[in-house]
Amino acid sequence: MIKPGRPRAPVPDSIERSDGPVIHFESVTKTYPNQSRPALESVDLDVEKGEFVFLVGPSGSGKSTFLRLILREERPTDGRIYVAGRDLARLTTWKVPQLRRRIGCVFQDFRLLPGKNVYQNIAFALEVIGKPRRFIRKVVPEVIDLVGLEGKGDRMPDELSGGEQQRVAMARAFVNRPMILLADEPTGNIDPATSIGIMKVLDRINRTGTTVVMATHDAAIVDSMRKRVIELEYGKVVRDQSRGVYGQAY
Amino acid sequence: MRAQFIFGEVWVGLRRNLTMTVALIVVVAISLSLLGTGLLVVKQVSHTRSLWQSKVELSIFLCDKNPLSPQCQNSGQATKADTNRIESTLKNLPEVVSVTYRTQAQNLAQFRKEFASNQVFVKSVSPGDIPASFQVKLRNAQADAGPVTAAVTGMPGVDSVGNDSTILTNFYRLLDGARNAVIVVAVILIVAAILLVANTIRLSAFNRRRETAIMRLVGASNFYVQLPFLVEGMIAGLFGWLIAVGLLVGAKAGLDGFQNYFPFRAQLSVSDLVEVVVFTMVIALLLCGTTSFLTLRRYLRV
């Protein structure tokens, strides 16, 4: 069943908004240079604070572009994007890091630093934004516990299983308590049994009030979670269900 | 600002890039020491010039009893009247600062003093071989020599005019040539150093692309992302500079030693050396800092 786009709150003409959706797309089109077909085409959608959203669709449907636009790694060709109350079009380059501090990111390939252990990998995310060492010493163990890696702080990434590495990546993404967590196929390299554990961690993170947007191909996971599902096809939103499943056939 | 974190990153970067870093340090050291040597030579030449400027004299030799030159064979030995006429002519010239008459005996004594180290030379000269002369100090040793020489040449009693600065002119030409060659090589090497800095930083950025990707992702500011690389380039530059300082101290010692071959020592002072050393440090920091910064802007865009 296809639901029409949700009604949008009127957007005041200021850069910062404290209330309203954490992610707001307004007829966003993105065409990459030297390509005729847009990667995203007039996408309108809102993600509210604290929501858990699955982003599904075949490869090349625009899921990654959607995530990159939120991070402002790309700029839309047309339309407006608000993230955490900020109008991305008006965000100056030197303020982009501030935006990214409010967004955590998890990827299919974990992207851990091989030369650092679990604790150091997580602490790195805080060190580079200039957090004091006392703060780091306090929050890193907390988040290691939260993702279920108690006692494994001094392990190196190559001593961990795929599922454990992804937990480290989630801890690193969450350690600065972001408003939004973006997960791009977080279970793509992980077997189904381990994936359940990953989803439990994501759910735990979501319960702290963090909005989670997860792009995935994993039908079983989407079906079991019964969360909001946004389906993209050829760059267009073809489905937006509040308690959806992966395929339309159900 | 967490210095410990930045320097940790810098250390990792320098170590991973060891061969490039060593090449960079060597090239910076050589180019800076050549540039500094060029500057030392510039200072040396101007020192020497101003020191010698005050000592250079025109020697107007007078005909004596046994004339050798055709000029003296015509006019014969300089008479008292000839000598007085020459002296007053010289004193009336505006270019002349002072005129001193030196007898044959005085000139012989002076000759023996200057060539004291070469006794064979001293013994071959007997009293009466060296004529009496007027020693003339000029306002400007370079420019005034011509007109003064022209004014007295051909006067009865004048044998020949000797000019110390003709010898010096050749010497200056040699020094200037050496200085120019050193500076040209230094500039070429500095260009090489700039390219090496750019390459080292690029390699370093490539080696640490994982770290920088994560830094950007978690919202590290440009400052935090770029500073380790900037510091890395500057530290390599400073190491090169330190080596160059050693080489420059050596170069100054060499120039000082060179002075032993001349009658007047025109040594450079320590403050001259310090000035050159500080200047090369500024060059090193500017060169490495600016190049790193410009390279980073290309390779580490947010």
Q: What is the pTM of this model?
A: 0.71
**pLDDT above 90 as % of chain A:** 76
Interface contact A100-B1, CB threshold 8 A: no
Residue with tokens 């890039």: B17
What integer pLDDT is reported at residue A248 of this predicted model? Answer: 61
What integer pLDDT is reported at residue A2 of this predicted model? Answer: 47
Residue A211 pLDDT more than 50? yes
Cβ-based neighbours of A108, under 8 Å, separated by 6 or more? A184, A185, A186, A188, A189
Q: Which two tokens stand for residue A136?
A: 């780091």
Backbone angles phi, psi at A153, to 5 degrees: -60, -30
Q: Which of A94, A104, A129 sits opposite B220 (nearest CB)?
A: A129
B49 or A228, which is more confident? A228
Whole-number Å distance between alpha carbons of B56 and B135: 10
Contacts of B221 in chain A (CB under 8 A): 94, 97, 129
Contact between residue B45 and residue B135 where contact means Cβ atoms under 8 Å apart: no
> Is the CB of residue A99 less than 8 Å away from at least one CB of chain B?
yes
Cross-strand bridge partners of residue B137: B57, B98
What integer pLDDT is reported at residue B126 of this predicted model? Answer: 77
Q: What fold does the segment set B56-164 form as a domain?
A: Alpha-Beta Plaits (3.30.70)
B171 or A172, which is more confident? A172
pLDDT tens digit string along B245-292? 999 999 999 888 877 777 667 788 888 899 999 999 999 999 998 988
Residue with tokens 């847009």: A38
Looking at mean pLDDT, say which of A31-45, B69-83, B113-127, B258-272 comes out highest. A31-45
Residue A191 pLDDT more than 60? yes
Mean pLDDT of all residues in chain A? 89
Best of A72, A102, A128, A133 to substitute, by most chain B Cβ atoms within 10 angstroms, is A128
Mean pLDDT of A159-169: 96
Residue B67 pLDDT more than 70? no
Question: How far is B226 from chain A, CA to nearest CA, in Å?
Answer: 11
Alpha helices in chain A (DSSP H): 63-70, 96-100, 118-127, 133-146, 162-174, 192-207, 219-225
**pLDDT above 90 as % of chain B:** 13
Q: Considering only alpha carbons, which residue of chain B is nearest residue A120?
A: B5
Q: Considering only alpha carbons, which residue of chain B is nearest residue A93?
A: B302
Whole-number Å distance between alpha carbons of B228 and B10: 5
Question: How far is B282 from chain A, CA to nearest CA, in Å?
Answer: 29
Of A22, A84, A57, nearest to A231 by C-alpha is A57
Whole-number Å distance between alpha carbons of B287 and B285: 5
**pLDDT above 70 as % of chain A:** 92
What integer pLDDT is reported at residue A123 of this predicted model? Answer: 95
Cβ-based neighbours of B124, under 8 Å, separated by 6 or more? none
Interface contact B302-A96, CB threshold 8 A: yes
Q: How confident is the model at residue A60 (pLDDT cuts 50, 70, 90)?
A: confident
pLDDT-wise least confident of A154-158, B34-38, B203-207: B203-207
Of B226, B231, B202, nearest to B216 by C-alpha is B226
DSSP A16: -
Interface contact A128-B210, CB threshold 8 A: no
The one-letter code for the residue type at B235 is: I
Residue A3 pLDDT more than 60? no
Q: How many CB atoms lie within 10 A of CB A136?
A: 19
Residue A51 pLDDT more than 90? yes
Q: How confident is the model at residue B167 (pLDDT cuts 50, 70, 90)?
A: confident
pLDDT-wise least confident of A5-14, B115-124, B213-222, B254-263: A5-14
Whole-number Å distance between alpha carbons of B163 and B170: 13
Residue window 200-229, chain B: list those with CB within 8 Å of chain A.
210-211, 213-222, 224-225
Contacts of B214 in chain A (CB under 8 A): 111, 113, 124-125, 128, 172
What integer pLDDT is reported at residue A14 of this predicted model? Answer: 44
Cβ-based neighbours of A98, under 8 Å, separated by 6 or more? B219
Sheet holding A23-30, edge to edge: A40-47, A23-30, A78-83, A86-87
Interface contact B218-A101, CB threshold 8 A: yes
Of B189, B182, B179, B185, nearest to B287 by C-alpha is B189
pLDDT tens digit string along A99-155? 999 999 999 999 999 989 999 999 999 998 989 989 999 999 999 999 999 999 999
> Is the CB of residue B302 less than 8 Å away from at least one CB of chain A?
yes
Residue B195 pLDDT more than 50? yes
Residue B233 pLDDT more than 60? yes
Task: List chain B domain ranges.
Answer: 3-52+169-299, 56-164
Q: Which of B5, B222, B302 sits opposite A127 (nearest CB)?
A: B5
Whole-number Å distance between alpha carbons of A58 and A56: 7
Q: Considering only alpha carbons, which residue of chain A is nearest residue B4?
A: A127
Question: How far is A48 from chain B, CA to nearest CA, in Å?
Answer: 22
> Is the CB of residue B10 less than 8 Å away from at least one CB of chain A?
no
pLDDT-wise least confident of A26-30, B17-21, B121-125, B272-276: B121-125
Architecture of domain A42-241: 3-Layer(aba) Sandwich (3.40)
What integer pLDDT is reported at residue B263 of this predicted model? Answer: 65
Q: Considering only alpha carbons, which residue of chain A is nearest residue B301?
A: A93
Whole-number Å distance between alpha carbons of A218 and A234: 19
Q: Considering only alpha carbons, which residue of chain B is nearest residue A73?
A: B302
Q: How confident is the model at residue A249 (pLDDT cuts 50, 70, 90)?
A: very low
Cβ-based neighbours of B185, under 8 Å, separated by 6 or more? B34
Strands B158-163, B57-62: pairing is: antiparallel
The one-letter code for the residue type at B230 is: L
> Is the CB of residue A101 less than 8 Å away from at least one CB of chain B?
yes
